[in-house]
Amino acid sequence: MPVIRDRVHQARVKNALEPEWEARFEARSYGFRPGRSCHDAISTIHTVTSGKHTKRQWVLDADLAAAFDRINHDRLLEAIASFPGRNMIRRWLKAGVMESGRFAPTSEGTPQGGVVSPLLLNIALHGMTQAAGAAERTTRANPAAPSLIRYADDFVVLCTTKEEALLVKHRLTRWLAPKGLTFNEEKTRVVHLSEGFDFLGFNIQRPRNGKVIIKPSKDAIKRLTRTLKERIRTMVAWPLDSVIRGLNPIIRGWSTYYRGVVSSNVFAMLDTYMFQRL
């Protein structure tokens, strides 16, 4: 973790570098960008996949292996080009890590916990849409082009056929390699929308009737259940009002994240599920 002084300098560099890149980043990149959120990414997926005549029914559900830890320094600095703070960024990247009194050099990756690290990741991944052969936006001229929606290092590509999804994966594998990045093959898959896929804690599925269903993923529900169970076990001897005050922030955070996208009937089903499990 960078010390406070370095974090201040990183925030200063980020404030200077970010406006330039905000004007250049792809329209469907949402992670760690001002005024954008996970819900914007989910809403875009819903827009692209809904409708009776949508053609993009195959999904490359992709995951990059330790992206923050493996970014190629030379390629990243090449992208930053002549930015005045370039030398400061280079020194942060090459600073190394102290752990248990031992120094380890850093030949790749961005500083863990660094204020500027998320922006550097987005810079490193800029151009992914073009590399995948995807459209920036849905247009009449090319309505069936692949659509790539990215949130930091987590992204999906919506395609018309399985073969096209596999071709996009091949293109991106070649594009990512010089940047030091690879797919996590265990978590990357090509699926049909009718099977559904998880993205940013949501499960998106389009059954054969054509209606897109978005709900909390099973993993997200399991994490919430586990968190509540662990918290309740530590509150066995607490008064009821204290238990409620202790659980409310967790429940409120969950509701705030999911209620903006998920319909109320899903929450009713989720409430029943939670009481049965707890």
How far is residue 193's CA from residue 162's CA, in Å, rounded to a whole number?
11
**What is the distance between the alpha carbons of residues 161 and 151, in angstroms, rounded to a whole number?**
23
d(CA 165, CA 107): 33
Alpha carbon distance 216, 262 (integer Å)? 8
Return the biggest CA–CA distance within the chain: 65
SS3 259: helix
pLDDT band at 225 (very low <50, low <70, confident <90, very high): confident
The residue whose two tokens read 């830890």 is 69
Binned at pLDDT 50, 70 and 90, residue 270 comes out as: low
Residue 86 has pLDDT above 70, yes or no: yes
Q: What angle do CA 21, 24, 28 make, to 5 degrees?
A: 110
Share of the chain above pLDDT 90, in %: 60
Rounded CA separation 98/88 (Å): 19
Provide the pLDDT for residue 184: 92
DSSP 21-82: HHTTS-TTB-TT-TT--HHHHHHHHHHHH-STT----EEEEEEBSSHHHH-BHHHHHHHHTT
Confidence of residue 113 (pLDDT cuts 50, 70, 90): confident
pLDDT, tens only, 4-59: 899 999 999 999 999 999 999 999 999 999 999 999 999 999 999 987 778 899 99
Q: pLDDT above 70 covers what percent of the chain? A: 90
**Alpha carbons 252 and 257: distance in angstroms, whole number:** 9
- The band of 67, judged by pLDDT with boundaries at 50, 70 and 90, is very high
Nearest to 116 by CA among 137, 140, 96, 86: 86
State both tokens at 51.
Answer: 């409708």
Alpha-carbon torsion 94, 97, 102, 104, what sign?
negative
pLDDT category, 96, cuts 50, 70, 90? confident
Beta bridge partners of 72: 108
pLDDT at 52 (0 to 100): 78
Give the distance from CA 79 to its chain's centroid.
22
Q: For 171-177, what is the mean pLDDT?
A: 97
What length is written for the chain?
278
Contact in structure between 255 and 271 (CB atoms under 8 Å) = no
Is the pLDDT reported for residue 135 higher than 60? Answer: yes
Residue-wise pLDDT tens digits, 227-266: 988 998 898 889 988 988 988 898 888 888 987 565 555 5
- Per-residue pLDDT at 273 exceeds 90: no
